[in-house]
Structure 1
Amino acid sequence: MRRRESLTLDMTPLVDVVFLLLIFFLVTSVFKKEELALLLNLPHGKEGGKMVEKKSAVIEMGKTRIAMDDEVVTFAQLDEKLSGLKDKTMPIVVRIDEHVEYGRIIRLFDLLKKHGLGNLALVEKPKGGQ
């Protein structure tokens, strides 16, 4: 009488394939970063603000550069972009570096006022944040 060999499935190749797929997806995936065009050093605030929830335009101002919606622009280009905004009640999120000259901030606010955009949200550094 012959003895039957039990059939077993070799799991080693399956484990190798799973690990290769895991590595492939980790290497090829793109992790979403905070979408900022300029590296800013935001000032601290005493009270925490609320987040803007509906669609908004984001303006970032550094010491020498200014950006709108992740695109570095000049003040003239910013003027054109602001004139093209249809919804004047749309929130404008403004991120200003704490070392920006006061005159540049006033120039930005004058530009916003010129186009009737007054729904501003000034962003500060979060509590305990860097």
Structure 2
Amino acid sequence: MKKKHNRETEDANIDMTPMLDIVFIMLIFFIVTTSFVKEKGLIVNRPDDAQKSNKPSKNVSIKIDANGFVYMNGRQIDIERVEANIQSFLAENITENAVIQADKETKHGVVVRVLDQAARAGLPRLSVMVDKE
């Protein structure tokens, strides 16, 4: 007896292996041929979170008039006590900056003494302003 094949009893199967092989080969091809280019741009140095504080930062403001009198944050101080006054200011405020405003008639020796004392007090950034008149 001859067996008759019926279409309903046969299941149509498609072999997926060759298609998966091609997909993986294409994936490997694209990964290997992709060039990774480092984008050029500006490098930004951001401060660490440990340096942040709740207190706002203030600058130390030192003014020297034509007669050599020194004023720190609006009050007159002795030229020999600049370092001590800056240290007491730094105990209460967080800053690295000092702005020294000298009159154009001020002697350079006085300005240099104030700069030296500010540097010894622990201020790494010092700026000197002079009127151009």
User: Given the two structures, how large is their TM-score scaled by the length of structure 2?
Assistant: 0.47
- Structure (1 or 2) with the larger CA radius of gyration: 2
Name which structure has the greater RCO, CA cutoff 8 Å, separation 6+.
1
Query: TM-score, with normalisation over the residues of structure 1?
Result: 0.48
- Name whichever structure is richer in helix by fraction: 2
